Amino acid sequence: MTRKTTIWAAGAKTLLMAVAVFTAAVSGGGTDAEERYELREDPRLPKETKAQKDARMAWWAEARFGMFIHFGLYATLGRHEWVQKYERIRPEDYESRYKPRFNPDRFNARDWVAKAKAAGMRYMVLTTKHHEGFCMWDTKTTDFKISDTAFHRDLVREYVDACREAGIRVGFYYSIIDWHHPDFRIDTIHPLHDILGKQGAAEANRTRDMGKYRAYMQRQVTELLTDYGQIDIIFFDFTHPGYHEIGKNGREDYHSEELLALTRRLQPQIIVNDRLGLRDIVGGWDIKTPEQVIVPKCPTFNGEEVYWETCQTFSGSWGYHRDQDTWKSPRQLLFILIDSVSKKGNLLLNVGPTARGEFDYRAVARLKAMGEWMDANSRSIYGCTAAPEDLRAQTPDGTKMTYNPKTNTLYLHILEWPIKVLPITFADRVAYAQLLNDGSEVLIQQPRHVSGAIRKDMPASLMLPVRKPHTEIPVVEMFLKPN
């Protein structure tokens, strides 16, 4: 039966699920804002009340801004972390040509962490292994690892230590896809699929034993979650329910439930993303991870708003890409951060260090600009969320609202700097307003004609300086009257 007939043969509810599944599968990041699934419990997973989950998520929801790092052997090629797939390179050629060349001699974990911290980021997530299968720690499971190169060091260890030292929460990314392991089944995204062809891949798969790969993966995850102290967040990448239907490895192939149970057993407090294909399992994921998109609103699941974090690149590629010229401006990047918080979400912004282990000059410039903005304006980000519904509905054109529920403060981010007045329809709710970057008062008054007469055609407005304040996106901080 074709995919299409499978879908049409199903009932309306299943159809809805299939559509959700398909959208998620195509994006690889589960971006559809509204999803519905029939839920199932798995006895292997710990039970948790909503209050317990909220407590576990509290540091993350407060932090709002984190750094993703994609660093691996692919940095050596400098043309995308999927280069092995795109250029159809056999795993053995990839290893023999590039592993001997890999030597990030300018790597300095403290420098990475200091740059993240200065940009205002409060947690980091590092690729411990990407799809290429190369391990960034001194694993006992394979020689295809960083400690077996000219570099000789355990990069994960140094990263973890530097994060802890700086008070930055520690995260790991781990690819469950592995293009190097001889037992990993060749699916349609595997480089060998294009090299061998469909028939050839099917034949090769006869001797590949996913059971052996699973055992390997479990040993690796056990090492990562046992030997490095407390790990605050883990980003598994990726499968989705339904992937097997379109010729890819699905959760049955990874035994995702077991992997998650292992993760939760080793690190009970850890935050886990949503890419193990366990959408319909209670406790199967903690956060949604829409990738490289702006969500229209806070994503929901079975009608309820969920924790979410968008992961974004500077230029499109996650790994170092020397020649890519599609870098977002600091302003666009700040917009993504503000927009995410205004919809109750986080931003995980990615850096792809160079083959010598440093941040690229373009990344450094953008992080610096974001840091300058955060230095002056981070009160509108940390601990903030969407504004209360009634205020949100009155968001002035060209602005974005965030809100700190603990202090009952509203933050208006002014994207288009107006000429002197910004009309607002909720002036009666505001006790006092000021520019956040310098703490100078912003009066709220009825605008006047040049004659001095009150303008009856406009509501009370923020009286702003003609010149835009010296900060990329100015913020007006409004202390609200108690409800």
Interaction of residue 318 with ligand GLC, rule CB under 6 A: yes
> Going residue by residue from 76 to 95, which x/- string records binding to ligand GLC, judged by CB under 6 A?
-----xx-------------
Please compute, for residue 259, the number of CA atoms within 13 A of its CA located in the half-sphere on the CB side.
34
Contact at 8 Å (CB) between 260 and 45? Answer: yes
Interaction of residue 309 with ligand GLC, rule CB under 6 A: no
Question: Which residues fall within 8 angstroms of residue 375, CB to CB, at 6 or more apart?
Answer: 120
d(CA 296, CA 317): 23
d(CA 365, CA 326): 15
d(CA 53, CA 51): 5
Q: Which is nearer to ligand GLC, 83 or 168 (CB)?
A: 83
Neighbours of 92 (CB within 10 A): 10
- 132, 154, 286, 291: residue in contact with ligand GLC (rule CB under 6 A): 291
Interaction of residue 28 with ligand GLC, rule CB under 6 A: yes
DSSP string for 92-122:
HHHHHHHGGG---TT--HHHHHHHHHHTT--
Q: Which is nearer to ligand GLC, 85 or 400 (CB)?
A: 85
In order of 75, 104, 221, 398, the CA distances from 101 in angstroms are 11, 9, 27, 50
- 75, 311, 367, 381: residue in contact with ligand GLC (rule CB under 6 A): 311
Contact at 8 Å (CB) between 237 and 218? Answer: no
By rule CB under 6 A, what count of residues binds ligand GLC?
9
Q: Which is nearer to ligand GLC, 82 or 98 (CB)?
A: 82
Interaction of residue 74 with ligand GLC, rule CB under 6 A: no
Q: Which is nearer to ligand GLC, 318 or 335 (CB)?
A: 318
* Nearest one of 333, 342, 339, 298 to 312, comparing CA atoms: 333
Contact at 8 Å (CB) between 421 and 456? Answer: no
Interaction of residue 237 with ligand GLC, rule CB under 6 A: yes
Q: Which is nearer to ligand GLC, 288 or 413 (CB)?
A: 288
Measured from the CB of residue 348, what is the shortest distance to ligand GLC in angstroms? Answer: 8
Q: Which is nearer to ligand GLC, 124 or 433 (CB)?
A: 124
Q: Which residue is nearest to ligand GLC (CB)?
A: 28
Measured from the CB of residue 100, what is the shortest distance to ligand GLC in angstroms? Answer: 24
Contact at 8 Å (CB) between 355 and 75? Answer: yes
Interaction of residue 243 with ligand GLC, rule CB under 6 A: no
Interaction of residue 187 with ligand GLC, rule CB under 6 A: no
Q: Which is nearer to ligand GLC, 136 or 422 (CB)?
A: 136
Measured from the CB of residue 84, what is the shortest distance to ligand GLC in angstroms? Answer: 11
Q: Which is nearer to ligand GLC, 70 or 413 (CB)?
A: 70
Query: Could you list the residues that contact ligand GLC (CB under 6 A)?
Result: 28, 70, 81-82, 237-238, 291, 311, 318
